[in-house]
Amino acid sequence: MMSTRTAHLPEVTDETFAEEVLRSEVPVLVDFTADWCPPCRMVAPVLAHIAAEREGTLKVVSLDVDRNPATQAAYSVMSMPTLVLFRDGEPTRSVVGAHPERRLVEALGLEETR
């Protein structure tokens, strides 16, 4: 069964994280999420819209923390959803919780990724 979240965003795993996120040529917004998390489901359509608007200049992916504990631990993610923006393989900004699109774009500094 496909979750709402994966219907909108490509999923990365502990195994694919380095290739898909750390070695990406464009900034990557990672949605650390879980199927049991209601705020995660609330933010999924917002993230899908951000991804569609910035296709080619920003990659947006999700990582299920229950199935990928190594990456969750490596970045000390304790609350879901946590959104982390990676540039050149380094986490540069993060936001915890579900927020309106404008707030996410401002907090993560995504204005220049259009």
Q: Which helix (H) or strand (E) holds 6?
A: helix 4-8
Strands 28-33 and 59-64, how do they pair?
Answer: parallel
Is 49 strand, coil or helix?
helix
Q: What type of residue is 11? A: E
**Both tokens of residue 59?**
């990659």
d(CA 59, CA 76) in angstroms, rounded, equals: 22
Catalytic residue numbers, as ranges:
37, 40
Give the count of alpha carbons within 13 A of 56, CB side only. 2
